[in-house]
Structure 1
Amino acid sequence: MPTIGWVFLLGAIALVLGGLFMLRDSGKMPISKEKMKKIQERKAEIEAEESAEDREQW
């Protein structure tokens, strides 16, 4: 493969990896303690409702 082919190949790989790293770093959203507590409470409620529904079906 000619040198220009290797340059394009390495450039394409660098662009893909750079994009993936940027997505990974931008995906972190800080959640306040109050919101996290509400999320956990709501999750517990939903799980309790689902387990009650499962018991009713049997």
Structure 2
Amino acid sequence: MPLIGWVFLLLAIALVVGSLLMLRDSANKFPISDEKMRKIQARKAEVEAEESAEDRES
């Protein structure tokens, strides 16, 4: 393979690896307000209660 082919190959690999590293670094930076978190937890508890009620009926 000519030298330019190796350069393009290394560049493509570097872009993929760099993108994956940036994605990993920003994965846990999704701020949720306390109010939204309480609503999410309340809804989760409600769904779990409904599912347990359905399980008891069956």
Structure-2-length-normalised TM-score: 0.74
Quote the offset at 1:23 in angstroms: 3.2
Unaligned runs of 5+ in 2: none
Instruction: Tell me, in whole angstroms, the C-alpha distance in 2 between the residues paired with 1:41 and 1:34.
Output: 11
Moved over 2 A (4+): 18-24
Match of 1:53 in 2: 54
Distance in 2, Cα, partners of 1:45 & 1:27 = 26
For the aligned residue pairs, the C-alpha RMSD in angstroms reads: 1.9
TM-score, length basis structure 1: 0.74
Identity, in percent, stands at 75
Give the count of matched residue pairs. Answer: 57
Flag structure 1 segments of 5+ consecutive residues without an equivalent.
none
